[in-house]
Amino acid sequence: MEKEFSIGGQIIAPGEHRIVHLVVAKLYDFTEVSLPVEVKRGKSPGPTLFISSTIHGDEINGIEIIRRLLTYKPLKKLCGTLITIPVVNIFGFNTLSRYLPDRRDLNRSFPGSSKGSMAAQLANLFTVEILDKCTHGIDLHTGAIHRTNLPQIRGFIGDRDTKNLAFQFGVPVIINANSRDGSLRAEAHKKNIPILLYEGGEALRHDEHVIRMGVNGIKAVMRAIGMLPSKPQPTRPETFISEKTVWVRAPSAGILTSGKPLGAHVEAKENLGFIRDPFGKHNVPVRANVGGIVIGKTQLPLVNKGDALFHIATFINTHKVKKTLDKLNSLEK
Ligand SMILES: [Zn+2]
């Protein structure tokens, strides 16, 4: 017999699925705000996986990833429990903001506390009601405002289970990243819950390529851990781990012109673009500080000196990574 599963004081039986509203707070006018969570329990036992999105309120690709995942017919044969939380930062989401009304970053507020700030209370609710009940997690993000990211997995690859999940997800680029203190990922890691952070695209935008890779990645992970029936898979792209990423910052203020797209292979010292004044009298070259693959970039050409412009990931064999990314792009077209 599978253990009893309860959330928000409600018991959910095997084979049942339900949307539960976890009460978070009251607004100034006493309107109650709740966190909607969908729990889907398979008839057979298995892992308990949470998929969360929009911890940063303006990162919306993950909501669409979850919506599409939940229409997937083989979920009828689900083993274990799937918990989806499409909008974790309900406050930021409704005001198109990364943060909470108290200007705190929810993803720096874990594990939180029931007596702390608004962010701390929401983080605590997530930790107690969701994280502590799960065996695995996937947290969905995009680049911050005015920044876009190549689809990528971030995880603590030193952990064998996390590494296996990362390879199963099947995006070519994996960043072996220690998590930041106070993040959901750091908290999960402390509790020995393998967790992947999938990110791609830009804040406040849908990105079809990123969404599709996200949906497929989650399905692949769910098959690998026995939550979905396995089926023959088309050959997936090869996966590469980057141990180090570096930001190229603006050497001057001005207007950036650049033709380097996400996924571009750049050499150290290569020219990535120019920063110009409006009359074109000054042309300051922006040079790569390392060789690698562009995994993130600014979308806003107006830059201050020191602004982060290009995020470059280094690899042992950059040519191979580039070849895999190009192949994937041509399949998409
Ligand atoms: Zn984020």
Nearest to 141 by CA among 77, 211, 61: 61
Domains parsed from the chain with CATH numbers:
5-224 (3.40.630.10), 244-332 (2.40.50.100)
CA distances for 276 relative to 70, 199, 247, 270, 312, angstroms: 47, 31, 20, 18, 22
- The protein residues having their C-beta less than 5 angstroms from ligand 1 (an ion) are 56, 59, 141
φ/ψ of residue 51, rounded to 5 = -125, 115
CA of 276 to the centre of ligand 1 (A): 30
Residue pLDDT, tens place only, 257-288: 988 999 999 999 999 999 999 998 999 999 99
CA of 143 to the centre of ligand 1 (A): 6
Put residue 294 in one of left, alpha, beta given phi > 0 → left and psi -120 to 50 → alpha: beta
Distance 277 CA to ligand 1 centre (A): 32
Q: What residues contact 311, with CB distance under 8 A and at least 6 apart? A: 149, 245, 246, 247, 248, 294, 295, 296, 297
pLDDT, one tens digit per residue, over 200-254 is 999 999 999 999 999 999 999 999 999 999 887 777 789 999 999 999 999 999 9
How remote is the CA of residue 109 from the centroid of ligand 1, in Å?
Answer: 13
* Residue 119 near residue 110 (C-beta atoms within 8 A): no
| Cβ atoms of residues 127 and 40 within 8 Å | no
Q: How far is the CA of 141 from the centre of ligand 1 (A)?
A: 4
Ligand 1 center to 217 CA (angstroms) = 18
How confident is the model over 14-56, as pLDDT tens digits?
999 999 999 998 888 999 999 999 999 999 999 999 999 999 9
C-alpha of residue 210 to centroid of ligand 1, in Å: 14
Q: What are the tens digits of pLDDT across the range 215-226? A: 999 999 999 999
